[in-house]
Structure 1
Amino acid sequence: MVKISRCYYVSGEYPISANYLNRALAIAKKNNLSTTAADVYQYLSLISESDGRYRDALTYHKMWADIRDSIYSEESGEKLAKLQIIYDINQKERENEILKQGSEIQKLELAKNRYRNIFLIVIVVTFSILII
């Protein structure tokens, strides 16, 4: 409906355009469509300005700006939440990598100690045989 109203607006048929915009606004409010409501208020502001109703134009413009700011804040919050999730995932991956490295180091140290113990046993047995 907003696009239809724009056609009427461009052709200078402001009352018909406003009628379509008001219907679109009712639907937008009912369905919680902020972007559509913002578009409607923007065009209602233009129509009011074209008709010389500057006070109404200012009111509609303020309503458009409020919704636009609200949408921007909401989008910014969503982006921030996504970035926080990505950051948390990266931190967990780093922690997992550090834990894997620590586990690998422990395995290597155990193997080293085992080989050292085997070597010492071989030396002790060899010296024991040589002494006898």
Structure 2
Amino acid sequence: PVAAAPAPTPPEPAKPAAAPPADANRARALLEGKPAAPASAAAKPAASVERLVVQVGAFSEEAGARAVRQKLEGAGLKTYTHVAQTADGKRIRVRVGPFENRADADKAAARVKALGLPAAVLTL
């Protein structure tokens, strides 16, 4: 006996091509001399993330900076130093952070002040 061939399956319907990015449509319209739609909000670059630090002090001597860092790190705060040349000479800035939002920076500043140290929230 002869086996019947399986019935052919119908081809899948063609999927529509993905729409070109908005920038491509805008560029094409400009090249063709047509008015271009304004760039969409989604096409705009994301706003930069605000970075904040808490500056605890600026020291001319490493021993002072080291003592303050040890006190802060003993309280569980992440610290770093930044060396800056000023009109009065080299200063070692002791900072806590960085933080991505003001609320976290303010909480850290409150913890620093609770240790009896000065604290200033700065934007980088």
TM norm structure 1: 0.29
For the pair shown, which has the larger CA radius of gyration, 1 or 2?
A: 1
More helix by share: 1
More strand by share: 2
TM norm structure 2: 0.30
